[in-house]
Chains A and B, each alone.
Chain A
Amino acid sequence: MAENVKEKAILTTKDVRLFYGKKEALHGINLDFPETGITALIGPSGSGKSTYLRSINRMHDFTDYVKVTGEFNYNGQNIYDPNTDLTQLRKNIGMVFQQPNPFPFSIYENVAFGLKLDNKLSKIELDERVETALKQAAIWDDVKDRLQQSALGLSGGQQQRIAIARALATRPDILLLDEPTSALDPISSRAVEDGLVEIGDKYSIIIVTHNMQQAKRISDRTAFFMDGNLIEVDSTKNIFLYPKEKETEDYVSGKFG
């Protein structure tokens, strides 16, 4: 079995199984994530990498026929504990989706959205957190003069970086990204990737990607999924140059996928 994190893990998952009705879609995933750095989840379509990612911040809770079992230990806290407050959990574990999906408000309102949900922050503090988040997402220079304009007027790549800023504004520990650049052109993708690399040493970033070049470019560790199983996890270099498993080798060398 694949080696897991040596340094202190912020999130450990053990024997994660997920059922769509009676059908098991994840067959016991054991995977840990360090406190900082980018982990890429790669694998062919239907391999379960997105499904696994969405189980981390309990996005499956809204689908009645999905059942998740296994251990999710986030800093000592069981994520699936019935007492876990979903709101707080999702502020600590932010998520960005495939489609750039800004809300139909101003850029500022978009980034401040999560901050305004319950705790009342002062205007000064709000401004500061919004600015920090936008800077971290590498979009501040693009939008600083038009924070009050609608976020819908931005390009796809800019919208996606706003979505990242929106997730960062609540100061999460972990950032989940579900194919964040697959709807973007290469130049916009590059901008998003650069932003992620910038913040990779401050957050634990988990990114699902179809794009193996992207995994190679930005991730420190790579986990290879296939048919609902975790086949192998290792440093990105080892996965791409010295894979231990035959399936991994076939996939990263382009024999299938």
Chain B
Amino acid sequence: MNDELYQQLTKKSISTKKDNFGKRLSLFALILIGLVVFAILFFVVSRGLSTFTLDQINPFNFVFGTQWNPGKTDEAGNQLVGALPMIVGSFAVTFLSALVATPFAIGTALFVTEVSPKWGNKIMQPVIELLVGIPSVVYGFIGLAVVVPAVRNATGGTGFGIFSGVVVLFVMILPTITSMTIDALRNVPGHMRESAYAIGATPWQTIYKVVLRAAIPGILTAIVFGLARAFGEALAVQMVVGNSPVMPDGLFSPAATLTSVLTQGIGNTTDGSLANDVLWSLAMILLLMSLLFNTIIRRIANRRALK
């Protein structure tokens, strides 16, 4: 055995050391992020659960109760901490806004990718990207200044309510759904369009019989992303929804969402009080819903990967 060669081969070279350092650095970053996520989960869940452990609130009454007035009790002495009005409010604004936004998003995306890529790339794409970048408080402010008075004039109520929330969220999630739908349509291979044409399909038949069908998983992902964004949006919604934690009895009466109650209440309650604990429980519900949306997105993405 040649000792010199042995030394040379077993001594770690500088490149190897740098390589190891890089690996350790990225591992460290990963662990740090992982810890942060875990800490948030742990913190929110542990605080959120104290409503049910320390304050002895029945979880069933919490989720399905319709009276929200933390600190007050009804005649029987039960705490008025029913979160159903906010849960319903959140789901109503979320699903309604996605329902309205999706057709517009698909239409816009089709224009950009299929009808007029030139105009689409030059004008529509920058506009859409601009819309994504506008801070939500601006949307809320416009909603407050334009949508709410318009609804007030049209319906005669206060103008605050689920409908105004839906209008604002519609504008907010439209660019999200649109730009992801554009990606989904662009991912449909060109040769699929070509073979549809070659068989005698018109451009429109090609779009709705082949391109849209092939892009369904991607479009679904886009919609779920829109849902997740709408569900988690707090500020803009809070500004127009009315913030009245009662069961909504129509689109035009004031309502509240999980997020709007949270942003309003979290600074005005004492740490450790029941009023504070129930807010944490609302946050926990929000977090669980976000996880659910994420799971759905991953499921769809995985199914697409299998094909």
Residue interface bits B183-222, CB-to-A below 8 A is 1, else 0? 0000001011011111111100100011001100000000
Q: Is the CB of A62 within 8 A of B197?
A: yes
Distance from B181 Cβ to chain A, minimum over Cβ atoms (Å): 17
Residues of A with C-beta under 8 A to B189: 99, 101
A167 to B194, CA, bound (A): 13
Residues of A with C-beta under 8 A to B197: 59, 62, 90
B307 within 8 A of partner (CB): yes
Distance from B145 Cβ to chain A, minimum over Cβ atoms (Å): 45
Residues of B with C-beta under 8 A to A101: 189, 191-192, 194-195
Count residues of chain A with CB under 8 A from any CB of chain B.
26
A51 to B42, CA, bound (A): 63
Residues of A with C-beta under 8 A to B194: 59, 97, 101
Distance from B200 Cβ to chain A, minimum over Cβ atoms (Å): 4
A5 within 8 A of partner (CB): no
B213 touches which of A62, A94, A103, A167 (Cβ 8 Å): A103
A113 touches which of B191, B202, B209, B307 (Cβ 8 Å): B209
A241 within 8 A of partner (CB): no
A79 to B199, CA, bound (A): 16
Q: Is the CB of A91 within 8 A of B191?
A: no
Residues of A with C-beta under 8 A to B307: 104, 150, 152
A97 to B199, CA, bound (A): 11
Q: Is the CB of B198 within 8 A of A113?
A: no
Residues of B with C-beta under 8 A to A57: 198
A97 touches which of B195, B200, B202 (Cβ 8 Å): B195
A152 to B214, CA, bound (A): 12
8 Å CB interface, A146-161 against B: 150, 152
Distance from A89 Cβ to chain B, minimum over Cβ atoms (Å): 8
A181 to B195, CA, bound (A): 16
A114 within 8 A of partner (CB): yes
Residues of B with C-beta under 8 A to A1: none
Count residues of chain B with CB under 8 A from any CB of chain A.
18
A103-B210, A103-B213, A105-B213 known; A167-B199 Cβ under 8 A: yes
Q: Is the CB of B213 within 8 A of A91?
A: no
A103-B192, A104-B307 known; A97-B198 Cβ under 8 A: yes
Among A59, A113, A166, the most chain B Cβ lie within 10 Å of the Cβ of: A113
Distance from A115 Cβ to chain B, minimum over Cβ atoms (Å): 10
A166 touches which of B192, B199, B202, B214 (Cβ 8 Å): B199
A207 within 8 A of partner (CB): no
Q: Is the CB of A94 within 8 A of B202?
A: no
Residues of A with C-beta under 8 A to B202: 86-87
B189's nearest neighbour on chain A, judged by CB, is A101
A101 to B190, CA, bound (A): 10
8 Å CB interface, A90-122 against B: 90-91, 94-95, 97, 99, 101, 103-105, 113-114, 117
A88 to B202, CA, bound (A): 10
Distance from B221 Cβ to chain A, minimum over Cβ atoms (Å): 16
A163 within 8 A of partner (CB): yes
Distance from A119 Cβ to chain B, minimum over Cβ atoms (Å): 11
Q: Is the CB of A90 within 8 A of B205?
A: no
Q: Is the CB of B214 within 8 A of A113?
A: no
A27 to B81, CA, bound (A): 83
B201's nearest neighbour on chain A, judged by CB, is A117
B213's nearest neighbour on chain A, judged by CB, is A104
Q: Given contacts A88-B200, A101-B194, A117-B209, could you give 15 more A-B pairs where the C-beta distance is less than 8 Å? A: A57-B198, A62-B197, A87-B201, A90-B199, A90-B200, A91-B199, A94-B198, A97-B191, A101-B189, A101-B195, A103-B196, A104-B214, A114-B199, A117-B201, A166-B199
User: Which 9 A-B pairs give the minimum distances between C-beta atoms?
Assistant: A95-B198, A90-B200, A114-B199, A87-B200, A91-B200, A101-B191, A104-B214, A101-B195, A99-B191
10 contacts across the A-B interface (CB closer than 8 A)? A62-B197, A89-B200, A91-B199, A99-B191, A103-B195, A104-B307, A117-B199, A117-B209, A166-B195, A166-B199
